[in-house]
Amino acid sequence: MPPAGNTDDQPPGDGDGRDPAPPPGGVAESVVSAVVTEHFVLQSARGAATSEAGGRLSGLLATVSGALVAAGFIAGTPAAPAFFAVVIPFLVLLGLLTYRRLVEISVEDVLYVRAIQEIRRWYADSLPPGLPSSMAAPLAAPIWSLAATRTGGGLVPLLSTTASVVALVTAVLAGGGAALLAAAVTGDTATAAVAAAVVTLVAVGLFVRDQARRFTRALGR
């Protein structure tokens, strides 16, 4: 006679105090639900970060475009020097702040890709066989992140980031400001051109190296 509470017709976990048996795949439904939810949250975070990056870039470019239009109207007037003395430093500062945030977003994006890839590996290892091969396919990180983490390509791929676009615009603005200052001080066009080129190239180099340093530090490589 079978013991009470554990008859042949009663499955384990329905009245004997033991947990229900896991589903056929060997993974509890609550775990699967949690992992899928985390996957969705990471994908949503990537989308939000991408939207923020686009918005910040558009805002900066719109501000620079407006300033250039205003400069075209005011150039040649007595108020032009004061206008450029105020507007160019403001635009450079705005570019620096935008650049800083865009680098942070790029780092966050790589971290999101890493976390999503771990979940995809878990899918491939835990779910039943016969799934599409895309479930186990690696989710590649952006190519510029490989350069930033010293896994290939040097520093050149960093020039393709959104932050690098802002860095280039900011460097050109800084170079233009240096040219105007040099022209006002020396009155020599050639000196102004050299000052613009030097400041622009140095600024671009500093921006690229700063991106590589930030990626290396944040991603631990």
Domain-wise residue ranges, the chain: 29-219
C-alpha 171/C-alpha 106 separation (Å) is 20
For residue 173, give Cα distances in angstroms to 59, 95, 157.
16, 9, 23
For the cut 80, the answer to whether the pLDDT of residue 29 exceeds it is: no
pLDDT at 24: 43
C-alpha 178/C-alpha 69 separation (Å) is 20
Q: Which of 9-18, 43-52, 82-91, 169-178 has the lowest mean pLDDT?
A: 9-18
CA angle 140, 142, 147 (to 5 degrees): 115
Q: Which of 42-51, 94-103, 139-148 has the lowest mean pLDDT?
A: 139-148
Residues 158-185 have a mean pLDDT of 89
pLDDT at 221: 53
